[in-house]
Structure 1
Amino acid sequence: MKRRQCLQLGALASLPAWAQRGFDTPPPPGPARALRWPALERASLPNGLEIWVARKPGGLPLVTVLLQVGAGSLHDPAGKAGLAELTLAVMAKGARRGDETMDAADLAYAAESLGSALDIEVLPDCARLALTVGTARLEEAVNLLADVACRPTLLAAELERSRAQALDALTLSLADAPLLAGELAQRLFWGETPRGRLATRASLARLRRDDLLACHRQLLRPDSSRLILAGDVELAEAVELAEAFFADWPAARQPLPALPLLSPQPLAPALLLDLPGVDHGAGHCAVLLAAPGPALGVDAAPAQVAQAVLGQGYSSRLNQELRIKRGLSYGSSSQAEALPGAGCWRLGAQTRPERAAEVAQLMRAELLRLAREPVPEAELAARQAALLGELGRAPDTSAGLALLVAEQARQGRGQQALADWPAALRAVRPAQLQALAGALWRPEALRCVVVGDLKGARVEEELRRQWPGAWLLRAQELDLGSRTLRKGA
């Protein structure tokens, strides 16, 4: 028996260190790997179109082609909210190539034959059209993107079909508590500014084909656009393709309409919306806090680190307080939006209706605590490491890399900024976070939205105590286009 034990001990000693620790003990983390970003290269065409290339040689033979244009929703005229989004949707339903016309089915087939799909995203200050293809099909992809962006047919019949789809999506969003809470927070925080105007059934009904043609003519133009190629591609090839398919894109004769400089115009301190039957009786409601954020062009590194501390990831403060310590929610989220003149942060979670006011108060307390107390160095280092790890995974795909480059371009950063970004995040100190929070977040600047089936929940009294002047609405009273959010007002 003793001999057998000795043999067992001897065998154990010969095992590697990780096996001796046992399978339940994770190994210590290794040294952090340096983030290696592909170099950005730039060129331009005589018509003003910028060409940005982020080359990833040696990986998969894929390229993402992304066209970023100036047609954002902030340009939507008063009373016609939803114009930019509807224009981009109809653009993907028909285009001309030479003497031929391609309808929606032709364009969808052309994209699918490339092994891809046309992705369209409309942001407040720009819009993006993108395709990801194998390198052998790159020329066809750039040609297709140019057809859609430069030569859309914008047919009246496709406008009606896209309008019907937009109205259906709007109807669905009005029955989805988290989506509706986000819309209401945007409306409550920005008020009657261009960012506060939301697409409604009335605004979508006002749009005509002439509106779409004017939007395309005024905003989709080469001097406010960037053609971004990320993946297995070189600058010379990108320039050659841009010249072949975008050189005849005529430069606009009129100056580009300036983006409005935004400033929050809150409608009310808080809003409580009773939405009976939401979540099929599951008893959840959405709680969202809106707070001022830094404007576009302001140093974004402290804001992004502060967001990681507050609401990004399992170890963030909001998740610790709401889920881990109290079991009030399955999780929380934090989103930041930087726009010309001002920005907005949104902290959100879902919880039981009777705990909604408590969740709102905890969110507000965590936001304000960031201004009162410096973040401990250990916590800051952990959140920066998580942020950098997430950032380091983004360039693993050509689409992720293209979006990184597009965001750098949107924020007006130069070629070197992407390479410098990890170091900028790592250099953020607790005093910067405290200064940022102190400059932006005061109790009277915060706005709260609660949406859910509130039957029997005593949320209204508690919410009004936390936010004096809070509005209470029933679902059947809601009108997103009204200044009071109430029908008939």
Structure 2
Amino acid sequence: MRVTIDPTTEGVLNADAGSTVRRTVLPSGVRVLTEEMPGVRSVSIGYWIAVGSRHEADHQYGSTHFLEHLLFKGTQRRSTMDIASAFDTVGGESNAMTSKESTCYYARVLDEDLPLAVDVLTDMVTSAVLDPAEMETERAVILEELAMAEDDPTDVVQERFASQVLDGHPLGRPIGGTREAIEAAARDDVWAHFNHWYRPDELVITAAGGVDHDTLCRIVDEALQDSRWDMSRRSAPAALQAAQEQHIPVRAGTETISKPVEQAQVILGGRGMRAGDEDRFALTLMHSILGAGMSSRLFQEIRERRGLAYSTFSFSAGFTDAGYFGLYAGCLPSRVEQVTSVMADELERIATEPVTAEELTRAKGQLRGATVLGMEETSARMSRLGGAELVRGEFVDISDTLAEVDAITAEDITRVAARLASSERAITVVTP
């Protein structure tokens, strides 16, 4: 079942395996989406704010990820230890994630402990204090995190490739910021960023598992009424982020980063597709054939037949209005040119020659299994609701997804690959 999300109204639908998906907009503009899964005793719940690294002003660069850390460091009601021990006491889990377009604070608990999770997460998102002393502690922690990433050549090549294929655009910046930005971050700028984005009309709450929708709406509303936010004003939800495809220039050619490594890291790629593109399932199948798993063309040609690399694969990254793709390999520095040539040849081949019936059948089986098995987790279903609300503007259940996958033809794969192959090419290499 495919359902377009109306930004302002409530909806109910029966999804796969007897689960029920519901959506409510509270008077304050807060959106609550649930998927009740019969027989499940746990609940995954996420508090989503549609702000990521792409939305930061230059003087606030790194603030979104900084806030991900700081919201665990105390509120008007809770200390850092109170937040940490709340979920440990009930055997639950909590964490957060920052992306280029959203931030999510999430937890997984027993169904009976959902009120606790709501209370703590609401407190964190609405009433964090951003204590100056805690900010200095977390500044040091984030600098260590950035240093760790800079020591990982795979992270380095991924980050530099993104900046190359999204030349000059905020989407091409590292999510965590740079050492210079974090060292310069002022508490007032981070606080202003927090107050601008963390407000009722920007908050989306999603939950999946053993959850009753009406009960969740009630306890969420009660928690919000007790928060720092002004809940007296009625407000419409914030508009869905622009989904029209944006043309972002590629800094074509080869860029080399020198690092003291034994193995070179290579990515070849270019512009891809936005997250909601109608060809996204065909794109996933194309990657399955080209570079996902041991039976893929890249693995068979580069590793099995030629012995040029240990690890090789293809990938895509999609956002609301843009995307990119890449072919990766890790190899000896002396083999970079040969490996890059093989990757380019394989991209051209899949863009011009139809894939075989055997390859298409295997790719569909791989995607079907990964989709269904992935949705066995409450956290995956919770995240699916977040993506439906913030990125795609529609909910697609598993049955409809599988039907769309089954309908894809070999011609669709060639057409999608040709879209990618027509992009300007960027090559990023990390090498000694």
User: Shorter-chain TM-score category?
Assistant: 0.7 to 0.9
Deviations 1:34-62 (A, max 9, x none): x7473422122111111111122113x11
The 8 Å contact of residues 115 and 219 in structure 2, kept in 1 or not, is answered as yes
Residue pairs, 1:48-127, within 5 angstroms = 48-59=29-40, 61-96=41-76, 101-127=77-103
Q: Which amino acid aligns with 1:311?
A: G
Q: 1:169 aligns with which of 145, 156, 178?
A: 145
Against the structure 1 CA distance between its residues 52 and 71, is the aligned structure 2 distance closer, same or farther, given a 3 Å change threshold? same
Provide the residue aligned with 1:450 in structure 2.
Answer: 429
Residues 1:287 and 2:263 aligned together:
no
Deviations 1:379-425 (A, max 9, x none): 11111110110111112221222223323333324234554212112
Q: Distance in 2 between matches of 1:430 and 1:324?
A: 25
Moved more, 252-261 or 109-118: 252-261
Deviations 1:119-166 (A, max 9, x none): 111111111111000112111011111011111111111221111111
**Alpha-carbon shift at residue 258 of structure 1 (Å):** 8.8
Residue pairs, 1:368-447, within 5 angstroms = 368-442=348-422, 445-447=424-426
Higher relative contact order (CA 8 A, sep 6+): 2
Provide the residue aligned with 2:300 in structure 1.
Answer: 320
Residues 1:274 and 2:258 aligned together:
yes
Against the structure 1 CA distance between its residues 263 and 333, is the aligned structure 2 distance closer, same or farther, given a 3 Å change threshold? same
**Alpha-carbon shift at residue 66 of structure 1 (Å):** 1.0
Q: Which amino acid aligns with 2:102?
A: C
TM-score, normalised to structure 1's length?
A: 0.78
Q: Distance in 2 between matches of 1:257 and 1:52?
A: 16
Q: Which amino acid aligns with 1:216?
A: F
Q: Which amino acid aligns with 2:253?
A: P
Q: Distance in 2 between matches of 1:419 and 1:45?
A: 30
SS at match of 2:429: strand
- Any gaps of 5 or more consecutive residues in structure 1? 1-34, 454-489
Deviations 1:412-450 (A, max 9, x none): 2423455421211221112222222223322x6121111
TM-score, normalised to structure 2's length?
A: 0.88
Moved more, 386-395 or 318-327: 318-327
Q: Distance in 1 between matches of 2:239 and 2:167?
A: 22
Give the greater-gyration-radius structure (CA): 1
Provide the residue aligned with 1:332 in structure 2.
Answer: 312
Deviations 1:241-262 (A, max 9, x none): 2222235644798996996875
- Any gaps of 5 or more consecutive residues in structure 2? 1-15
Q: Distance in 2 between matches of 1:418 and 1:155?
A: 44
Q: Distance in 2 between matches of 1:163 and 1:171?
A: 12
Q: Distance in 2 between matches of 1:314 and 1:452?
A: 25
Q: Distance in 2 between matches of 1:43 and 1:259?
A: 19
Against the structure 1 CA distance between its residues 331 and 448, is the aligned structure 2 distance closer, same or farther, given a 3 Å change threshold? same
Deviations 1:276-304 (A, max 9, x none): 2x3xxxx3221112321112332122222
Residues 1:264 and 2:248 aligned together:
yes
**Alpha-carbon shift at residue 329 of structure 1 (Å):** 2.3
Q: Distance in 2 between matches of 1:288 and 1:301?
A: 23
Provide the residue aligned with 2:5 in structure 1.
Answer: none
Q: Which amino acid aligns with 1:420?
A: D
May I ask how many residue pairs the two structures share in their alignment? 408
**Alpha-carbon shift at residue 233 of structure 1 (Å):** 1.4
Q: Distance in 1 between matches of 2:387 and 2:84?
A: 27
Q: Distance in 2 between matches of 1:405 and 1:308?
A: 25
Provide the residue aligned with 2:275 in structure 1.
Answer: 296
The 8 Å contact of residues 328 and 359 in structure 1, kept in 2 or not, is answered as yes
Deviations 1:219-242 (A, max 9, x none): 122323321111111222222222
Q: Which amino acid aligns with 2:219?
A: L
Against the structure 1 CA distance between its residues 212 and 318, is the aligned structure 2 distance closer, same or farther, given a 3 Å change threshold? same
